[in-house]
Amino acid sequence: MQKIGNAKVYLKNEAFGGDFVLRNARMINPQESGERICDVAVCEGRIAALGEIPSKFLGAREIKLDGCLLFPGMIDLHTNLREPGREDKETIESGTSAAVAGGFTGIACMPNTDPITDAEQKVRYIIQRSENAPCNVYPVGAATKELKGEEISPFYEMISAGARGFSDGTHSIIRSDILKNVMNYAKMFDTTVFCNCQDINLSKGVMNEGEYSTVLGLRGSPKIAEDIDVARHLITAQYTGCKIHITRVSSKGAIEKIREYKEKGVKVTAATAPHYLYYTDKDLLTYDTNLKVSPPIRTEEDRAELLKALKDATIDTVVSDHAPHTSEEKNIEFDNASFGVAGLETLVGAVFSEIINKNILSITDFAKMMCVNPYKILGLPVPRIAVGESADLSVICPNKKWKVDAKNFFSKCSNSAFLGKEFSAMPVMTIVGGKIMFERDDFNA
């Protein structure tokens, strides 16, 4: 067990696995209409009763959740765990601890490891190392060997080992013939290709190209670097019939293309991240390297289009884009600092404060984005809060005010885009397979 402040994370072999009852939770079942205040009994890893609790649970542990929201387990579709190879940044244990502290019962981990996750034994390594982790880990294998975009990885062997999709991580597959072959193979196995869309020849800057890159004297990456590559991926997906998931969308042009091709029936889903919804390139006037991300934070026009895309479901989910870096990699000149943020532990707070509390999304919409769509994208059964279902549950207190402070992170790294920000919602308990993997002692629901 690891305790930081009033929060505790358990490994699976340490967690409380007995019977317990959740009292007075506001239960959100996104696949069903409405919501209700309900008691939930958990026994032997599954939901045993809803509403009236049987007498056999007398004496079981009771947890009062008055005012709290109870969701089916949330999944983050874009986490970098860094293990193997960069355990100084993050390990599977620390990354999954950060995930449950952020309210996630599962994460899809990217193949940007050292060595790259591009073979059967490397997928098996991650799964084996995750057996005792606090949350479920779903490896996304490298689409091409060593992420070089030249030779396709062994899809069948990696799927057999447990890969839930394929991606070249932060790289775009530049050769269109290789991209077409990747999509054809993925279609054969009915799996999803996760696409990071940026034209490498245009996206060599360190922030968005525009007024503020000129003011700051920093090299910019234009929006068209994203727009052009999104269009290339969409056209190729339409041609092959492959399912694609476009990660971390940041530009208005990309959103417009995704919306257009969804209407054409192309099997495309898309995600963005909280920092694209919260900030604009004007916020980089402070030279804050924690806002240096790839693709870069864009303009207010782009942010407005992202918010519109959330409302009309052009964007299917919000991801943490968790990319932990050491202070030595971030606390340097902006030009030389690494791209990326540590995002697992702040997603809920940022989205509730900036999106839900401003009536851009309803709580049920949020549940669909975090508790339904990610499962479909990974090809997993969609969970419900129902008798007999596995007890994978995320509990959020929507009125818990807190300030983002890196000393309270379970992640090894502190490169959050939201340091010092005050949020109005907080994950307070995460239950995985009927075990309480994360809980806070200090929430007054």
**Per-residue pLDDT tens over the stretch 115-130:** 999 999 999 999 999 9
**Per-residue pLDDT tens over the stretch 67-81:** 999 999 999 999 999
> Are 257 and 400 part of one and the same domain?
no
Would you say residue 124 lies in a domain? yes
Q: Rounded CA gap, 136 and 23, in Å?
A: 25
Last residue of a domain, one of 361, 378, 395: 378
**Per-residue pLDDT tens over the stretch 155-204:** 999 999 999 999 999 999 999 999 999 999 999 999 999 999 999 999 99
Distances from the Cα of 127 to the Cα of 77, 114, 279, angstroms: 16, 16, 35
Looking at residue 158, its pLDDT comes to 98
Last residue of a domain, one of 328, 362, 378: 378
- H or E stretch including 422? strand 422-423
- Domain extent, residue 218, equals 74-378
Q: Which CATH number do you get for residue 58?
A: 2.30.40.10
387: CB partners within 8 A, 6+ apart? 47, 48, 49, 50
CA 406 to chain centre: 19
pLDDT band at 444 (very low <50, low <70, confident <90, very high): low
Q: Which of the residues are catalytic?
A: 321
Choose among 177, 173, 161: nearest CA to 118. 161
Last residue of a domain, one of 350, 378, 406: 378
Six-digit token string for 208:
């968005």
Cβ atoms < 10 Å from Cβ of 267: 16
Q: Rounded CA gap, 320 and 99, in Å?
A: 9
> Are 65 and 86 part of one and the same domain?
no
Q: Rounded CA gap, 79 and 196, in Å?
A: 13
> Are 36 and 89 part of one and the same domain?
no
- Domain count for the chain, please give it: 2
| 3-state percent helix, strand, coil for the chain, nearest multiple of 5 | 30, 25, 45
Q: What's the half-sphere exposure (Cβ side, CA atoms, 13 Å) at 96?
A: 28
Would you say residue 260 lies in a domain? yes
Would you say residue 445 lies in a domain? no
pLDDT > 80? residue 29: yes
Q: Which CATH number do you get for residue 270?
A: 3.20.20.140
Q: Rounded CA gap, 405 and 419, in Å?
A: 6
> Are 192 and 85 part of one and the same domain?
yes
pLDDT band at 291 (very low <50, low <70, confident <90, very high): very high
pTM above 0.95? Answer: yes
